[in-house]
Structure 1
Amino acid sequence: MKSVDWVVIGLGSVGSQIIRHLAEKNAGTVLGIEQFSPAYTRTAVGGDTRLFRYALPEGPQYHRIISESLDQWNALNERTGRAIYEQTGCLYIGSEENSYIQGLLSSTTKTGAAAERLSDTDARRYPQHRLIDDDIIIYDPLGGFIRTDSAVQSSVALAVEAGAEVIKHDPVQRITRSRSGGYTVTTATSVFAAGDVIIAAGSWSGTLLSPELRVFTEPRRTALMWFGLSDPDAYTPDRFPVFKRVTEGIDIYGAPATDGAMIKIALSEARATASPDDVRQSLDADELYRVTRAVAEGFTTVIPDVVRSDAFPELYTADYQPLIGRDPGTGAYLATGFSGKGFKMSSGVGKLVADAITGSGDDGVRFADPARFFVD
């Protein structure tokens, strides 16, 4: 049986960052195990891009993670010479009375994040958006998007370069805690002894959690849609920031035309699915109606016909906060359950988790400790 110091299970958005930072610390042997291949399209890496929002309405508790993430995305750009994170700014559009907009303004006031309400004159710089009723625009200059495939593949390659071993297409079947400390990790083809285990397998993490913790999680399906443009030049990354819109009856987000032809727009929702292995790829009639209506009402030169769609699973928790820390039942370290917020902060989580488990720092995210579900 091969022995290693750390096993990272799952090499997607979060696991790829953890294994890179662990390997580059040169603090022990690191093995990454991925049941598919890194950046596999049917995981939460699929869909080409993810939004990076620096100003977050979810609360100031995320500020340390998102600040670290911004530093790490910029560092990864420099390391690779590629625009993995592209800064476009982010527009938040909605009524000042909307709870999402109010949460955003409250959070940025507490954290000092540089977000500003645009004047009517400045808002006219973005004629692609059709403002409705009392819509206002909040501008986050540090917002942008992450090229998901490049982020994962580059990080795994850097981990291997730093000495990590990576096994692909070999699902983990069980993790057993040893009496003497450490773990036995059994895959479909092999058995490994590990000093510590980090579970970062997204929706597939659920089967590896302790039964007591698993009941507080569920896999959900997120659908993405792409639309054609009657004026493609107006939607390039240098002219069209990523956005989140919460106008009455419209709750969507999206990214610019990275291919010069289509923009990505999605409904801000995630529906429960029985299994991450059985995610419906097609849009149902309700999804199709609501997203095309939102596009027709909210944009000036986006053609309101879906020309491409995709769907992938994500793991949600009962309180919509991630699981970062030890599973009280198994002792394994968790970095999962990000409830739709994972990719933007994955680079920072990777650094903070690697620091925490090697004793070179704290993870800085006590609010995400899985033990919170067991406090009286």
Structure 2
Amino acid sequence: MEQKIYDVIVIGAGSMGMAAGYFLAKSGKSTLLLDSFNPPHNKGSHHEDTRIIRYAYGEGAEYVPFALKAQELWNDLEKATGKQLFLQTGVLNVGPEQSDFIQNIISSSETYSLPLDVLYSREVNSRWPGISLSNEYIGCFEPTSGVLKCEECIEAYRVLAIKHGAEILTNSRVKEINIHDNRVTIKTDDQTFQSESLIVSAGAWSKELLSQLDLNLPLEPVRKTFAWFDAAEKLYNHKDFPAFAFETIQGLYYGFPSIDGSGLKVGRHDGGEKINPDNQIPGFGELPEDEADLIQFLNAFMPHSQQLKYGKTCIYTLTPDENFIIDLHPKYSNIAIASGFSGHGFKFSSAVGKNLAELIILGKTEQDISLFSINRFN
């Protein structure tokens, strides 16, 4: 029996890959998605319920159009599925007034006419009694932003991708990639597949896979932790309390209100230990600083929270500048790459998926993605 040749194979069916699979299948491309696990799963960056989406962007105004497009596509996904995937809790960003983080947020809001309340510390403390800010900090509250239900988003794209004809093969790790006469051959443990085009969006495993395609990218997988704490629901429930990001002397922390009694969720964005994703990653609490680091943040800024409920780990895949990689392979125009999302990528994954589909189908994107070029590493 003659082997089927797909239009596109996607390696890595997580947030970016699953969205790309949907947009490809919807456009009529025969699409196969391969994943080492069964998405949504807990082996990557985008599991455990929630991720923040914000538009006035502390990492730089260049991200704002991308974030706004992503939100438009999340709204489309909600309409297509009839599910609530976004909670408009607002997002409170806190930091020293002259920090790059805060100044980028303010300038982003001004450039793109985004609603933003700039608040002195006493105004923050009065508006949200669960927060205790000292005078060296200010708050920037973005009322239209909020929280995405990350696992439900991935599952929604999975359902729609299959509905449009995509095939998804789970628990199937890719062992070998070959390119010959502009055709792609993919080998797993027990099967071989062929396609005209390829997308690699394999998170912490991207570096290893791309090395088979003569591409050595500076990608660094890092262990990250986050945890839920018992909290006074009257102060921290998601109808009264925002998602947040705090730039402090100790580091950059982020978190979420208590959603349906889940507890206050807190993580640290910077720091972390370099890892090999194929090795056993220490669970939350196996390193003594895991809980202590988050407790010191809460004691300083949200003292009405209480004891630890439980914690989890995930993986960031960092680039040196912490900007993403979304581009075509420098040698192969039929291979698109999405990696290095550096701990702030999930909110964009709807737009990343659309851009990956456009790279494969059109060879270019509607949006400007030059910030994410591979060539910046040369």
Normalising by the smaller structure, the TM-score range is over 0.9
Q: Which amino acid counterpart does residue 297 of structure 1 have in structure 2?
A: A
Q: Which residue of 1 aligns with 2:106?
A: 105
Shift of 1:223: 0.8
Q: Which residue of 2 aligns with 1:201?
A: 202
Partner Cα separation in structure 2 for residue 19 and residue 216 of structure 1: 26
Given that 2:226 and 2:268 are in contact with CA atoms closer than 8 Å, whether structure 1 keeps it comes out as yes
Shift of 1:134: 2.3
Q: Which residue of 1 aligns with 2:283?
A: 281
Q: Which amino acid counterpart does residue 295 of structure 1 have in structure 2?
A: L
- How has the CA–CA distance of structure 1 residues 110 and 210 changed in structure 2, closer, same or farther, with 3 Å as cutoff? farther
Q: What do you get for the CA RMSD once the two structures are aligned?
A: 1.9
Q: Which residue of 2 aligns with 1:40?
A: 41
Shift of 1:154: 1.1
Q: How does 1:56-75 map to 2 (within 5 A)?
A: 56-75=57-76
Given that 1:132 and 1:247 are in contact with CA atoms closer than 8 Å, whether structure 2 keeps it comes out as no
Q: How does 1:126-141 map to 2 (within 5 A)?
A: 126-141=128-143
Q: Which residue of 1 aligns with 2:77?
A: 76
Given that 1:356 and 1:362 are in contact with CA atoms closer than 8 Å, whether structure 2 keeps it comes out as no
Partner Cα separation in structure 2 for residue 118 and residue 371 of structure 1: 40
TM-score (norm 2): 0.92
Paired-residue identity, %:
28
Given that 2:224 and 2:273 are in contact with CA atoms closer than 8 Å, whether structure 1 keeps it comes out as no
3-state secondary structure, aligned to 1:209: helix
Q: 1:169 aligns with which of 152, 168, 171?
A: 171
3-state secondary structure, aligned to 2:159: helix
**What whole-Å deviation, never above 9, does each CA across 1:31-70 have from its counterpart, x for those lacking one?**
1111100111222122221111111111122122111101
Given that 1:218 and 1:272 are in contact with CA atoms closer than 8 Å, whether structure 2 keeps it comes out as no
Shift of 1:215: 4.5
Runs of at least 5 residues in structure 1 that lack an aligned partner in the other structure: none
Q: Which residue of 2 aligns with 1:183?
A: 184
3-state secondary structure, aligned to 1:14: helix
Shift of 1:330: 5.4
Given that 1:130 and 1:297 are in contact with CA atoms closer than 8 Å, whether structure 2 keeps it comes out as yes
Q: Which residue of 2 aligns with 1:357?
A: 360
**What whole-Å deviation, never above 9, does each CA across 1:217-240 have from its counterpart, x for those lacking one?**
1111111111111x2132222111
Q: Which amino acid counterpart does residue 376 of structure 2 have in structure 1?
A: R
Given that 1:61 and 1:365 are in contact with CA atoms closer than 8 Å, whether structure 2 keeps it comes out as no
Shift of 1:77: 1.4
Q: 1:322 aligns with which of 307, 321, 324?
A: 324
- How has the CA–CA distance of structure 1 residues 361 and 297 changed in structure 2, closer, same or farther, with 3 Å as cutoff? closer
Q: Does 1:241 align with 2:245?
A: no
Q: Which amino acid counterpart does residue 136 of structure 2 have in structure 1?
A: D
Given that 2:328 and 2:359 are in contact with CA atoms closer than 8 Å, whether structure 1 keeps it comes out as no
Q: Which residue of 1 aligns with 2:224?
A: 222
Q: Which moved more, 1:325-334 or 1:347-356?
A: 325-334
Q: 1:12 aligns with which of 7, 14, 29?
A: 14
Partner Cα separation in structure 2 for residue 17 and residue 253 of structure 1: 25
Q: Which residue of 1 aligns with 2:151?
A: 149
Q: Which amino acid counterpart does residue 228 of structure 1 have in structure 2?
A: D
Q: Which residue of 1 aligns with 2:117?
A: 116
Partner Cα separation in structure 2 for residue 296 and residue 172 of structure 1: 45
Partner Cα separation in structure 1 for residue 373 and residue 118 of structure 2: 34
Q: Which residue of 1 aligns with 2:30?
A: 29
Q: Which residue of 2 aligns with 1:369?
A: 373
Q: Which residue of 2 aligns with 1:295?
A: 298
Q: Which amino acid counterpart does residue 5 of structure 1 have in structure 2?
A: D
Shift of 1:347: 0.8
Q: Which amino acid counterpart does residue 181 of structure 1 have in structure 2?
A: N
Q: Which residue of 2 aligns with 1:210?
A: 211
Shift of 1:116: 2.5
Q: Which amino acid counterpart does residue 247 of structure 1 have in structure 2?
A: T
Given that 1:315 and 1:336 are in contact with CA atoms closer than 8 Å, whether structure 2 keeps it comes out as yes
Shift of 1:122: 6.5
TM-score (norm 1): 0.93
Q: Does 1:337 align with 2:335?
A: no
Q: Which amino acid counterpart does residue 343 of structure 2 have in structure 1?
A: G
Partner Cα separation in structure 1 for residue 31 and residue 177 of structure 2: 16
**What whole-Å deviation, never above 9, does each CA across 1:55-95 have from its counterpart, x for those lacking one?**
11111221221111010111111222222121111001122
Q: Which amino acid counterpart does residue 146 of structure 1 have in structure 2?
A: L
Shift of 1:333: 0.8
Partner Cα separation in structure 2 for residue 361 and residue 294 of structure 1: 41
Q: Which moved more, 1:196-205 or 1:96-105?
A: 96-105
Shift of 1:306: 2.3
Shift of 1:123: 5.4
Given that 1:209 and 1:327 are in contact with CA atoms closer than 8 Å, whether structure 2 keeps it comes out as no
Q: Which moved more, 1:67-76 or 1:206-215?
A: 206-215
